[in-house]
Amino acid sequence: MITLTAYSWVPPIVRGLVRDLRVRWALEEAGLPYRVELIDLQNKPDDYRDWQPWSQVPAYEEDGLRLFESGAIVLHIAEKSPALAPQDPAAKARMTCWLFAALNSVEPPMQELALLDFMHADKEWAKVRRPMIVEFVQRRLKGLADALAGREFLEGGFSAADLVMASVLRMAKLTNLVAEAGLADYLGRCEGRPAFQKALAGQLADFKDAA
């Protein structure tokens, strides 16, 4: 049985955004059974760093194989499932390229913007910093929108690349930047998938049950 770690509690504003959601979503798309091991945000098991070097979530275990980093875990699941990766080698390579683009080119400025909006919106330094980050995010979103022009998904049908990219786009939930970039329909297609809805419901239910 696959084991996935997740937090038992996070502030309400970030519920539905914690990165174990990406892995839950991938497992639901792939139809793989799994169990969730909830850990305390502030009081993690003493040996957890042996599994996850920074004591974050998610971490993943399957038949003795232990992994960390959500993107690496999603890619591992995609390697096992045609539901998440094209079978043509060239298409699969392009899919992997887009998955890394989501993590390396789009997520860093999106995460900084989210941290400013979620945690520091009332700080003067954040108000000075925010316009620069917004402009950076807008450039990244325009590049994504241009690449998606005329296409429903990044590489053929829905894949792990779309799963990770949509997870990143959701970070901007306190802004209109995704819609302004013309990406609302794309994000809606991804979020409308039954596997996403099931994964999201599972994460939110865990927070509720652990309260």
Query: Domain 89-193 is of which CATH architecture?
Result: Up-down Bundle (1.20)
pLDDT higher than threshold 80 for residue 93: yes
Q: Which CATH number fits domain 2-83+195-210: 3.40.50.300, 3.40.30.10, 3.40.1440.10, 3.30.160.40?
A: 3.40.30.10
pLDDT tens-digit readout, 144-189: 999 999 999 999 999 999 999 999 999 999 999 999 999 999 999 9
Give the pLDDT confidence score for residue 146 in this predicted structure. 98
| Fold match flag (2-83+195-210 vs 89-193) | no
Give the pLDDT confidence score for residue 113 in this predicted structure. 97
Give the pLDDT confidence score for residue 210 in this predicted structure. 74
R_g of the chain, CA atoms, integer Å: 17
Count of CA atoms in the C-beta half-sphere (13 A) of 150: 0
What is the DSSP secondary-structure string of 36-51?
EEEE-SSS--TTGGGT
List, in order, residues 6 or more apart from 9 with CB less than 8 Å away. Answer: 40, 41, 207, 210, 211
Give the pLDDT confidence score for residue 205 in this predicted structure. 97
Give the three-class secondary structure for 34: strand
Give the pLDDT confidence score for residue 178 in this predicted structure. 98
Give the pLDDT confidence score for residue 209 in this predicted structure. 83
pLDDT tens-digit readout, 66-91: 999 999 999 999 999 999 999 999 99
pTM: 0.96
pLDDT tens-digit readout, 29-52: 999 999 999 999 999 998 999 999
Domain extent listing, the chain: 2-83+195-210, 89-193
Give the pLDDT confidence score for residue 52 in this predicted structure. 97
Sheet holding 59-62, edge to edge: 34-39, 2-7, 59-62, 65-68
pLDDT tens-digit readout, 8-34: 999 999 999 999 999 999 999 999 999
User: Is residue 5 within a helix (H) or strand (E), and if so which, with residue range?
Assistant: strand 2-7
Average pLDDT, the chain: 97
pLDDT tens-digit readout, 133-147: 999 999 999 999 999
